[in-house]
Amino acid sequence: MKRRNPNVQPLSSINLTSFMDVTFNLLIAFMIIAPTLKHGMEIDLPQVKASNLKPKDSITIVIRKAPQRGEEERIYVDDKRVALEDLTNHITALYQRKRNLDVLIEADKTVPYEIVAKVLHAIQKAGVPGVGLVTEPTTEP
pLDDT top residue among 131 and 43: 131
pLDDT in tens, 14-30: 777 888 888 999 999 88
Reported pTM: 0.60
CA dihedral 90, 37, 64, 134 (to 10 degrees): 80
pLDDT in tens, 62-115: 888 877 776 777 888 887 888 888 888 888 888 888 777 788 888 888 888 888
CATH of domain 58-133: 3.30.420.270
Domain ranges of the chain: 58-133
Instruction: Specify whether the CB–CB gap between 54 and 129 falls below 8 A.
Output: no
pLDDT top residue among 128 and 139: 128
Identify the band that residue 52 occupies on the pLDDT scale cut at 50, 70 and 90. low
DSSP 5: -
